[in-house]
Structure 1
Amino acid sequence: MYLTRALHRSLQQQPDEVVTIFRGRHRTYSEFCDRVARLAGALQALGMKSGDRVGILALNSDRYLECAMAAWWGGGVLNPVNVRWSVAEVVYSLDDCDTNILVIDDQFLPMAEGIRANAKRALSLIHAGDGDAPVDMLSFEQLIAEARPVPDAQRGGEDLAIVMYTGGTTGYPKGVMQTHGTLWTGCIQRMADTPPLHGGKVLHTNPFFHIASMSRVLNHFLAGEVHVIMPSFEPREMLETIEREHITELALVPTMIQMLISHPDFDKYDLGSVRRLGYGASAISAAVLEQTMERLPGVEFSHSYGLTESMIVTTNPPENHGPTARAQGLHLSAGRAGIGVELRIVDADGDEVPRGTVGEVVVRSAGVTPGYWNLSEDTARSLRDGWLHTGDGAYMDQHGYLFIVDRIKDMIVSGGENVYSAEVENVVGRHPAVAMNAVIGVPHSKWGEAVHAVVVLKSGMQATEDEIRAHCREHIAAYKCPKTVEFRQALPLSGAGKVLKRDLRVPHWDGKSREVK
């Protein structure tokens, strides 16, 4: 179970087939594997030994995938850096896991001097761009051209493969460790529930530093499919790419789906090649999902729920998105435990709660992280008695379907009543004028916390605060309805496309502490 095994299979069976397409550049499996073996040799010549970390700070590209595979081919460990971070945050992640080789693309060259000056270790910086490398950096292309290919180190099983740093929502980011075995297990679990499309062509737009995107990459390498890569998500370019490249499969987070289907030129493009759309990473509103299914008829929809600490927790297959299943509300669930996954909903003491009762999601499988890099206390807190405590609040129905209601820390406690933001967001999202929304708790002198909705309206449409509140009162209890509504042009998003609720809370909670715990 080593991740580069997929390359050997494809090299043997389809050496002349295209594996990556990026901005008009096509590489076959034969070309790709030769470049990987040469880059692995170059990394070893720079001092990478077995188990050493290699960082990459770059937008999505074919070179990103070559770097990842080369690190593993040469026996190293990948450290994909969050592209939204400041110099200080980048340096922290490099120092924390002792990374001394960093691949950096043109987009982040302005950060290079600050990273080099502040890192504890001397860094070998490799420029992965189309132009000449800066004088104080090595050239990605020159390294490949001049290096001799080396044999695959074939590290696998319990050997560390990747350190993926969390967003650092509280304190410093934590390095989530995944081994070749845990990542391999996650891929097999996903493929068992959602078999690959024959002759598939997947479009990658989610950032590769995120587990949702990296897991898709690994899945499609195992299946021997074509990777079409965009540097980042941009709706018009995505529509153009789908039509031009005849994309068969998409994987998007809900905010991207909303922006895609709302694009004014959506109907001008031929999207008939698309056969499957997978979504995840955050909750999707019922309104957005239904609109998307209407606008993409004949497309299979599937949902996966996972975490950086566990690629796969649950899957919700296409059959749960049909008319009968939608009438039962199954399309709003996160699905059921994936193959080989044990799943429970527990209370604060770790005891399983009755079906239909909200508690914390805990997971046990061979795909769960062995822990956090150099953080034994955090590891012990999250991994207890063999179970990963996710921090996600949810309930399970009588048939094992999981319904996520909130992050435990995001739950709003108003006047002693628990309010789950996902439920309120679903209702707000059904207002015909609402494009996107997020619900948070804000300080309230009487209730401790009050429900506050941040709303982005659809282009050309209007709604008032009173209209949004009145709409909510028709569908949910009064204590769950927003007490206040704020209108914005856009919501703050992470590099992975998730709404940054912590940024929405800052103006309300700065200098205050929650009055209700």
Structure 2
Amino acid sequence: MSIRSIRTLLADDPDVGTGNVLTSRIALGIGLDDPLLTFDTPVDDHAAWAPFTLRELDRSVRARAAALHALGVRRRDPVVVYATAAADHVLSFLALARLGAIPALLNPKVEGERAARYISRLGAVGILTDAEHRAELAGHDPVAPLLADTSELGAGDPDAAPEPYRHSADDPVAITHSSGTTGLPKAVVHSHASLYASIRHRAALPRAQGTDRMLSVLPAPHAATLIAVNLALSTHGQLALLSQQSGAATLDAIESWRPHSVVGFAATWADLAHHDLAARDLDTVSFWWNTGDCAHEAHIRRLIATGSRETVTREGRSRVPGSVFIDGLGSTEMGHSHFFITHTLGTEKYGRCVGRPHTFVDCEVVGPDGEPLGPGEVGELATASPTLAPGYWNDSVTTYRTRLRGRFLTGDLMYRDEEGYYYHVDRLVDSVDLGDGKRLYTALSEERVLARVPDVLDCTVVAVKDGDRVVTDVLLILQDGADPGADRTGEVVAALDEHTGATVRSVLVVKGDDIPLGPTGKVRKVLLRERYLASVAGR
């Protein structure tokens, strides 16, 4: 039995899923002393950046499982994990999954008041947290007791851990949450089978380049991180996980850990655009993997100009300058990106093109009546896939409201072209009806401004109805050295389509701190619109 056979053995076993990959790997007895997971903070007897072997990881997880079991945690118990370090989320998830409990991972950037309201809706039996987030919850009632500090769990006796729980395909194995940009985050439940479906799909394909040594700059409590961890365990790939998603932290980690690929969200790529990438040593990076929101062309082009990749020609294998960016579109509810497109220095298919669907996806674009639309027609994405989350935890109303003929209504406005490529134009809640069959798409407008207006690093378009008319503010973040006093209104309006350009009220240069972000880095446009309406009411 070889290392190469690991992913085939796991993928071919119908009992393997997100809840038991670690115990299944241990049972195979292969590569137990090879380094696999690396964390950026000290944990147990490991210094920051000191890798865990599979055997060491299993011991740490069993220690935590024993400690949690001693605290009374049992199967089907929802347990909240609210902490900063990626290690706390990953190790707590693995330990709770071993017990058959349901880890509810909460982003550390959700402030205490909202966190308490969110937790109170879960019916959790308790909360695992760190000192910083205990302080966040002080004065708020999450309607769940504090079980333990995450730093204490590793002191459990690994030999006292109960036997691993035997998962079924539809067993709930995690609760993660939406970005919360439109209000309180929505709790999304994932099953043993759904979070593993994309990995089972990948097992039938050649091993993707770069997955042998991956750096995750995903938010640790996100479903995408759980998939990345399961992928590493299932393919025997090394994975390092960052506890923060800033551009500066990402660059430092690339230079020190030397990954072959980096996986993250669009917000991190935008932050990287603020740095002089040519001055950093990024040569080992061959692939950038994006999930969540699709990325902007301007940010993609900066990244693929860095790094190097392997090519095969008649002369053999060689490395050439420039990396690969794999873009997609996914969400917490979708469980995995449902689309993909590959960008290199020679590609030109941008304009918010997210590519074609994965083979495990059955999707369509539908109109307001729920009927399928044809090529070129903008509507809402309705998608089906074995990766889909079963629904929203303790919220059957929202679960069924977002279902249509067995598909999930994502809230994304898209269209497909005659070749079967899909394009994302906006979130339904962020677009504005202009009347006469015209609609303003904020995300598509931002894409156009970034692509056509020089010196702009990032852009946010906010459109609201002011009485009977729609007005738009365009907020620009500029490159270092760009003139903040220059009037860019003409360039911005020229970049937009005619009916959107006619709504522009102001073009403003702002700083990053002026843009409110959700816990995953998405712009909270609802809050920006509320600020605008409040300023109008105050006049």
TM-score normalised by structure 2 residue count: 0.85
SS at match of 1:410: coil
What's 1:246 paired with?
258
What's 1:427 paired with?
448
Out of 101, 111, 114, the position equivalent to 2:136 is: 111
Q: How does 1:36-55 map to 2 (within 5 A)?
A: 36-55=61-80
Out of 504, 507, 525, the position equivalent to 1:501 is: 525
State the alpha-carbon separation in 1 of the partners of residues 59 and 185 from structure 2. 35
The CA deviation string for residues 89-108 of structure 1, in whole angstroms up to 9 with x for no partner, is 22233232221232212432
Is the 1:253–1:498 contact (alpha carbons within 8 Å) kept by the matching residues of 2? Answer: no
Is the 2:339–2:354 contact (alpha carbons within 8 Å) kept by the matching residues of 1? Answer: yes
What's 1:19 paired with?
36
Is the 2:484–2:509 contact (alpha carbons within 8 Å) kept by the matching residues of 1? Answer: no
Given the superposition, is the C-alpha separation of residues 311 and 512 from structure 1 closer, same or farther in structure 2, using an over 3 Å criterion? farther
1:415 CA displacement: 5.1
What's 1:305 paired with?
329
The CA deviation string for residues 467-499 of structure 1, in whole angstroms up to 9 with x for no partner, is 2x3213434433222332122111322221212
State the alpha-carbon separation in 2 of the partners of residues 457 and 192 from structure 1. 45
State the alpha-carbon separation in 1 of the partners of residues 158 and 362 from structure 2. 49
Given the superposition, is the C-alpha separation of residues 67 and 375 from structure 1 closer, same or farther in structure 2, using an over 3 Å criterion? same
What's 2:476 paired with?
455
Out of 289, 294, 298, the position equivalent to 2:300 is: 289
Given the superposition, is the C-alpha separation of residues 331 and 472 from structure 1 closer, same or farther in structure 2, using an over 3 Å criterion? closer
Is the 1:345–1:395 contact (alpha carbons within 8 Å) kept by the matching residues of 2? Answer: yes
1:242 CA displacement: 1.2
1:504 CA displacement: 1.8
1:341 CA displacement: 0.9
State the alpha-carbon separation in 2 of the partners of residues 199 and 168 from structure 1. 30
1:487 aligns with 2:498: no
1:443 aligns with 2:454: no
State the alpha-carbon separation in 2 of the partners of residues 199 and 386 from structure 1. 33
1:380 CA displacement: 1.4
Of the structure 1 ranges 64-73 and 187-196, higher mean CA displacement relative to structure 2 is found in 187-196
Percent identity (aligned):
21
State the alpha-carbon separation in 2 of the partners of residues 312 and 503 from structure 1. 27
What's 1:57 paired with?
82
How many matched pairs?
Answer: 493
What's 2:424 paired with?
404
Given the superposition, is the C-alpha separation of residues 59 and 347 from structure 1 closer, same or farther in structure 2, using an over 3 Å criterion? same
Given the superposition, is the C-alpha separation of residues 363 and 201 from structure 1 closer, same or farther in structure 2, using an over 3 Å criterion? same
What's 2:54 paired with?
29
Out of 87, 106, 109, the position equivalent to 1:81 is: 106
SS at match of 1:496: coil
Given the superposition, is the C-alpha separation of residues 113 and 330 from structure 1 closer, same or farther in structure 2, using an over 3 Å criterion? closer
Is the 1:205–1:230 contact (alpha carbons within 8 Å) kept by the matching residues of 2? Answer: yes
What's 1:123 paired with?
146
1:512 CA displacement: 8.2
State the alpha-carbon separation in 1 of the partners of residues 192 and 289 from structure 2. 24
Of the structure 1 ranges 89-98 and 452-461, higher mean CA displacement relative to structure 2 is found in 89-98
The CA deviation string for residues 141-196 of structure 1, in whole angstroms up to 9 with x for no partner, is 32x24761322113130001111232444554322111111111133346667844
SS at match of 1:510: helix
Is the 1:100–1:123 contact (alpha carbons within 8 Å) kept by the matching residues of 2? Answer: no
1:394 aligns with 2:414: yes
State the alpha-carbon separation in 2 of the partners of residues 70 and 206 from structure 1. 21
SS at match of 1:41: helix
State the alpha-carbon separation in 1 of the partners of residues 366 and 450 from structure 2. 29
What's 2:375 paired with?
355
State the alpha-carbon separation in 2 of the partners of residues 219 and 464 from structure 1. 48
State the alpha-carbon separation in 2 of the partners of residues 418 and 79 from structure 1. 38
RMSD: 2.5
Of the structure 1 ranges 413-422 and 389-398, higher mean CA displacement relative to structure 2 is found in 413-422
Is the 2:115–2:142 contact (alpha carbons within 8 Å) kept by the matching residues of 1? Answer: no
What's 1:208 paired with?
220
Is the 2:19–2:192 contact (alpha carbons within 8 Å) kept by the matching residues of 1? Answer: no
Is the 2:179–2:522 contact (alpha carbons within 8 Å) kept by the matching residues of 1? Answer: no
SS at match of 2:388: coil
Is the 1:249–1:276 contact (alpha carbons within 8 Å) kept by the matching residues of 2? Answer: yes
Given the superposition, is the C-alpha separation of residues 260 and 3 from structure 1 closer, same or farther in structure 2, using an over 3 Å criterion? same
Given the superposition, is the C-alpha separation of residues 292 and 173 from structure 1 closer, same or farther in structure 2, using an over 3 Å criterion? closer
Is the 1:465–1:486 contact (alpha carbons within 8 Å) kept by the matching residues of 2? Answer: no
What's 2:125 paired with?
100
1:413 aligns with 2:433: yes
State the alpha-carbon separation in 2 of the partners of residues 405 and 308 from structure 1. 19
Q: Which runs of 4+ in 1 moved over 6 A?
A: none
Given the superposition, is the C-alpha separation of residues 267 and 294 from structure 1 closer, same or farther in structure 2, using an over 3 Å criterion? closer
What's 1:134 paired with?
none
What's 2:238 paired with?
226
Given the superposition, is the C-alpha separation of residues 419 and 427 from structure 1 closer, same or farther in structure 2, using an over 3 Å criterion? same
Task: Kindly provide the amino acid, as one letter, of the partner of residue 78 in structure 2.
Answer: R
Task: Kindly provide the amino acid, as one letter, of the partner of residue 410 in structure 1.
Answer: D
1:370 aligns with 2:390: yes
The CA deviation string for residues 21-58 of structure 1, in whole angstroms up to 9 with x for no partner, is 22233221101112212321222221122111121111
1:408 CA displacement: 0.9
Task: Kindly provide the amino acid, as one letter, of the partner of residue 402 in structure 1.
Answer: Y
1:380 aligns with 2:391: no
Given the superposition, is the C-alpha separation of residues 261 and 456 from structure 1 closer, same or farther in structure 2, using an over 3 Å criterion? closer
What's 1:132 paired with?
none
State the alpha-carbon separation in 2 of the partners of residues 313 and 249 from structure 1. 17
Residue segments in structure 2 that go unaligned for 5+ positions in a row: 1-15, 40-47, 308-320
State the alpha-carbon separation in 1 of the partners of residues 298 and 246 from structure 2. 22
